[in-house]
Amino acid sequence: KKMGLLLIICLCAINSVKTHSVSKPNIILLMADDLGIGDLGCYGNRTLRTPNIDRLAEEGVTLTQHIAASPLCTPSRAAFLTGRYPVRSGMAAFSRVGVFLFSASSGGLPSEEITFSKLLKQKGYATALIGKWHLGMNCESSNDFCHHPHSHGFDYFYGLPVTNFRDCKPGQGSVFLKGVQKALVIPIQITGIALVSLVIVQYIGLLKVPFQALGCFLLIITISLVVLIFFFYHFRHLNCFLMRDYQIIQQPLSYENLTQRLTKEAMQFIGRNTDAPFLLVLSYLHVHTALYASENFRGKSKHGLYGDAVEEMDWSVGQVLDVLDKHNLSDKTLVYFTSDQGAHVEEISSAGEVHGGYNGIYKGGKSMNWEGGIRVPGLLRWPGVVQAGAYIDEPTSNMDIFPTIVKLADAQLPSDRIIDGHDLLPLLQGKVTRSKHEFLFHYCNAYLNAVRWHPGNSESVWKVFFFTPNFSPEGSNGCYDSHVCFCHGGFITRHDPPLLFDLSRDPEEKVPLTPETESHFYEILRVVHQAVDNHTRSLHAVPNQLSWDNLLWKPWLQLCCSSLFQSCYCDHESGGSPLEVHLG
């Protein structure tokens, strides 16, 4: 009897330890920007050196069909934080522009949205976001910070409020200039013709135009042009700056040792929170253009500046893993690595150097719902809890991180809204072999572009396209003439019947199936259309955060550490101590 009692006590103790080990771990979420799935050694790259990211794969799980909820930065990150399709929160655009471009826009992730950082903070987690935000800043004044990371559950913020543009780095060109020139040609022509016509009819006496009206018209045109020229001349100062919490600490942003600074902040945050659970989102600027790399990495890779940036990011991941080892936190920490979407294949520098990444065998890239735009790295490591060295080829989503870590923190999922993600832990631990995602809906901005269907009784992964982007030049792998692909009008081709692929047999999406080559063609389309109907009925009208009104630059929302007349300049970073980590 004593032996039996002792055995029961031992089993209870072991079970208690195991239960504790999967409850309230530290969470580190590492997100690259525009990284291609083919850029990493663990996904088949043999020329770029990514030993630290590969270490996550060796010691954890590699998701080989991990899908971004959107192929663009802003909506993908909104979905990641909320576990919901971005169209549900108004973070998907109906216009051509699908991301925030200016720090003084009024749109952003609505305060009504519940992020995983809010829920983890309520459970006693220390929370920090370091790096890129890109989900809005202010609503009505330059200091209401309604969309700031602090308003979404992060205790600490060190990073960029918008994103890393070519325009942020002198000599790297502009993502706006070509578009602005195209947009202004017709209005300037119309204005010129109108002015000349007014002068002619005034001169020949057909119409008497009051000089005051003509003067007002000219004044409005002049003021508009002055504001436009001022804005784009000072774009770098107005939109490319570094913040710590609510304070601007460097305006404009300096790229000198920038990754080292972000890494140091991450390491210091971990060091401050060794005795309590923490959530760290380290959102890299790499490898979005403008590309940059510090002196220790510049010129060291086999793929130019892009490769240098990838290898510098890998170094940073290694520093984070090392500091976990130093504080004996590795076994208590879930680490996740991903990219917000696929590589931007159209990124070519003015000198002709490829500045976009490699999406492996997959078609297309950023801004597209071809697999190259949405199939992203998905690596999860948690020693002793998650399988080591395992590969999972089931459809998963970056929205799945929300319910996974909320459950691990012993928090409750919101019951007043639909959460589109699913808890990954049973899959990661090998307790189940099938993903809960029977359907995944792929949006191009706010337009439903494609649907993925993984039937429970089949190995097939069907993908149905309702429209596809028109590549330019024709026959290429992207929209090089417009820099990104767009989602409507003359930029797309609609398909009736829709295009059908089986990704289990054709992951490169090379040959669409037909009724002749797939006997269940119409049955598959019928099921997918029914799923679309059900999904559409679950959507509710919400304010559009990416409307033109919310996207436009509003001077009264502009953050400035000095004044507009002083070109918004300050630098509280350069005098700081250098990074105290070894560059290996």
Catalytic positions, written as ranges: 73, 134
User: Residue 368 in contact with residue 345, Cβ under 8 Å?
Assistant: no
Please state, in angstroms and rounded to a whole number, the distance separating the CA atoms of residues 456 and 462. 12
Strand partners, 131: 159, 283
Please state, in angstroms and rounded to a whole number, the distance separating the CA atoms of residues 234 and 112. 34
Angle at 70 between CA 183 and CA 415, to 5 degrees: 125
DSSP string computed for 181-200: HHHHHHHHHHHHHHHHHHHH
User: Residue 117 in contact with residue 156, Cβ under 8 Å?
Assistant: no
User: Which element (helix H / strand E) includes 131?
Assistant: strand 126-132
Give the full edge-to-edge strand order of the sheet including 61-63: 390-392, 61-63, 378-381, 333-339, 26-32, 278-283, 126-132, 156-160, 242-244, 247-251, 570-571
User: Residue 449 in contact with residue 499, Cβ under 8 Å?
Assistant: no
Count of Cβ atoms closer than 10 Å to residue 158 Cβ: 21
SS3 label, residue 462: strand
Strand partners, 159: 131, 243
**Maximum Cα–Cα distance across the chain:** 117
Count of Cβ atoms closer than 10 Å to residue 539 Cβ: 12
Please state, in angstroms and rounded to a whole number, the distance separating the CA atoms of residues 388 and 429. 9
Please state, in angstroms and rounded to a whole number, the distance separating the CA atoms of residues 198 and 474. 44
User: Residue 333 in contact with residue 22, Cβ under 8 Å?
Assistant: no
Please state, in angstroms and rounded to a whole number, the distance separating the CA atoms of residues 578 and 584. 16
Residue 273: which of 126, 444, 417 has the closest Cα? 126
Buried b (16+ CB within 10 A) or exposed e, 489-528: eebbeeeeebbbbbbeeebebeebbeeeebeeeeebbebb
Query: In this structure, what token pair is assigned to residue 219?
Result: 């004044």
Distances (CA, A) of 198 to 185, 207, 284: 20, 8, 54
Residue 89: which of 131, 144, 147, 31 has the closest Cα? 147
Chain position carrying tokens 């790399």: 293
Please state, in angstroms and rounded to a whole number, the distance separating the CA atoms of residues 319 and 275. 20
**Residue 563 amino acid letter:** S
SS3 label, residue 443: strand
